[in-house]
Each structure stands twice: as structure tokens, then as C-alpha cells.
Amino acid sequence: MVTVVNNDVPAIDFGDVKVPTFKPDNVGTVLPGNVVFYTHEFVPQSTGSVTFSSVNSILSTTGWTQVLYQDADCNGTLNGAEGSAPVGANLPTVSGTAICVINNR
């Protein structure tokens, strides 16, 4: 048994993982029949998996829809096959490596 008290043990987390970041908060206005794309960057602080979802009760009552897509190259646009299918569940994460998504409303 090893006891570590008041020492910094680099590169090892003992159940304490830093909070991931998800940015930016986006706000916008668009006329009916038009589309807006909101880009987001999620940076996990641990290795594992993440699932993205979006909930907004106002959308269903006003006829608006939304779809989340993965922006694999994090360039803020849907290139090639990125826009062909919504973002999947249980995306693998690597600590400090960004996962970018685009919310199409």
C-alpha cells in the first residue's frame, strides 16, 4: 500500500477529472424557411466516449427542426460526407482533443 499526502503526482488523475469545455454559446435570428448553422467545440479532459443531443421544446411547437452533425476537421463547415448523416452516439474521446459539431437549424 502506498500513501501519497500533499504531493503532486503528474499525469495521473485519482478520480478527479477536469471539467470538459463546450463552446461557444450561439444566439441568432433567421426568418422562417431559412437555415442557420451553429458551430460548437467540445474538448474532453479524459478518454472515454460522449453522446450529443439537443432539446428545445419551442422547436417542435413552431415547426422548426434541428440536426447535429460532426464537423470532423473542425473547420466550421460541413464538407464532403460530414453532412450526410447526423452525429452518432458514443463518439470516442481523447483527453484534450476537440470534437466539433454543427447544429443545423
Model pLDDT, residue 57: 57
Amino acid (1-letter code) at residue 101? V
Q: Quick one: pLDDT at residue 35? A: 85
CA neighbor of 83 nearest in space, from 55, 59, 102 = 102
Residue ranges covered by each domain of the chain: 21-104
Give the chain as a 3 state SS string: CCCCCCCCCCCCCCCCCCCCEEECCCCCCCCCCCCCEEEEEEECCCCEEECCCCCCHHHHHHCCCCEEEECCCCCCCCCHHHHCCCCCCCEEECCCCCEEEEEEC
Query: In this predicted model, what pLDDT tens digit does every residue of 2-34 receive, in sequence order?
Result: 666 777 777 766 667 889 999 998 888 888 778
> Between residues 30 and 92, which one has the greater pLDDT?
92
Supply the pLDDT for residue 2: 61
Banded pLDDT at 74 (limits 50, 70, 90): very high
Above 70 in pLDDT, residue 39? yes
Q: So what's the pLDDT on residue 13? A: 61
Per-residue pLDDT at 58: 63
Q: How far apart are the two ends of the chain, measured CA to CA in Å?
A: 55
Residue 10 is predicted with a pLDDT of 75
